[in-house]
A and B are shown apart, each in its own frame.
Chain A
Amino acid sequence: MGNETYNAPDFPVDSDVEDFQRFPDIVKVGTTAPDTELTDLDSGAPVSLRDVTRNGITILEFGSLT
């Protein structure tokens, strides 16, 4: 999936349905979560997700304005 496909210009009906169907098969409970790098909105600094969770129980909520 390229950038343009990921950042679809409209609501991606087909891929949305497929993503819901695929969800049960990835990153299952009891397994180690992926470690990725994000950007802190306040500081603009890169943040390793693993460094965030190291501090204890962490709830990750994914979303956007729309």
Chain B
Amino acid sequence: MVEENAERGVQSVFIYVREAHPGEHYPAHSSFEQKMQHARDFRERVGVTRPILVDDLAGTTHRAFGTLPNMTYMLNAAHTVLFRANWTDPVTIQFALDYHFGVQDRRRSGLRQNPFYAELHGFRWVDDNAFFDGLELAGQQSVDDFHRAREMWSRGEHLGTIWNKLLS
């Protein structure tokens, strides 16, 4: 997908942020050099060919864009946001790119177009096996943390926590 879109002049960049599911093998970052090393390991294990830009230890870029673990933004040359998603999903990214190039084609053909605002309720494919493989790579703590989180979600306890914060 990255190569096909690169032929159309699309750049793709990976921004390395905090560990979402830290464990014994890949703990939360305590130094910037450790964060760089995790990013190198990520590139080798996953076989990333895109440029990887590493956020600072404080997560300045990550927090400026929403702090979510696996989000995507599509920006144009004016640094304007054309598309964004709170989860990275290749299908919707391709949809956004194809839509954008369609707009450009229609503009070139002389068709008059006005901008408008749109939203999309996305549905992403869930691969539990790959996800839990990732947690095990991080370490048993990561697996245990996620099981605990899932139990909390199923009991709705996280909703209570948010409600209490709103009232306090």
Is residue B117 within 8 Å, beta carbon to beta carbon, of the partner chain?
Answer: yes
B168 within 8 A of A: no
Measured between beta carbons, the chain B residues less than 8 angstroms from A66 are 19-23, 26, 134-135, 137-138, 142
Smallest Cβ-Cβ distance to B115: which chain A residue: A30
A13-B158 contact in complex given A41-B52, A62-B68, A66-B21, C-beta closer than 8 Å: yes
A61 touches B80 (CB 8 A): no
B68 touches A55 (CB 8 A): no
Residues of A within 8 A of B62 (CB): 62
A10 to B147, CA, bound (A): 12
- Number of contacting residues on A, CB 8 A? 55
Contact assessment for B100 and A57 in the assembled complex, using a CB-CB cutoff below 8 Å:
yes
B82 CB-CB contact with A under 8 Å:
yes
Q: A1-B63, A30-B81 are in contact. Are A40 and B14 (CB under 8 A)?
A: no
Question: When each residue 37-66 of chain A gets 1 if its CB lies under 8 Å from chain B and 0 otherwise, what string results?
Answer: 111111010010110111111111111111
Query: Separation in Å of the B7 CB from the closest CB of chain A?
Result: 12
Within 8 A of A (CB), among B47-63: 50-63
Q: Which of B10, B29, B54, B70 contacts A58 (CB 8 A)?
A: B10
Q: Is the CB of A21 within 8 A of B162?
A: yes
User: Which of B27, B71, B145 touches A11 (beta carbons < 8 Å)?
Assistant: B145
Mask: chain A, 8-32; 1 = CB below 8 Å from B; 0 = not: 1111011111111111001111111
Q: How far is the CA of A36 from the CA of B58 in the complex (A)?
A: 12
Query: Do the beta carbons of A65 and B72 come within 8 Å of each other?
Result: no
A-B contact pairs, 6 of them (CB 8 A): A7-B19, A9-B22, A33-B81, A39-B54, A49-B53, A65-B39
Known contacts A13-B148, A30-B115, A59-B73; 16 further A-B pairs (Cβ under 8 A) = A6-B58, A7-B29, A8-B22, A10-B22, A19-B66, A29-B81, A31-B81, A34-B64, A36-B61, A38-B15, A41-B53, A41-B54, A53-B76, A62-B70, A62-B88, A64-B20
Tell me the A residues contacting B by CB distance below 8 Å.
1, 3, 6-11, 13-23, 26-42, 44, 47, 49-50, 52-66
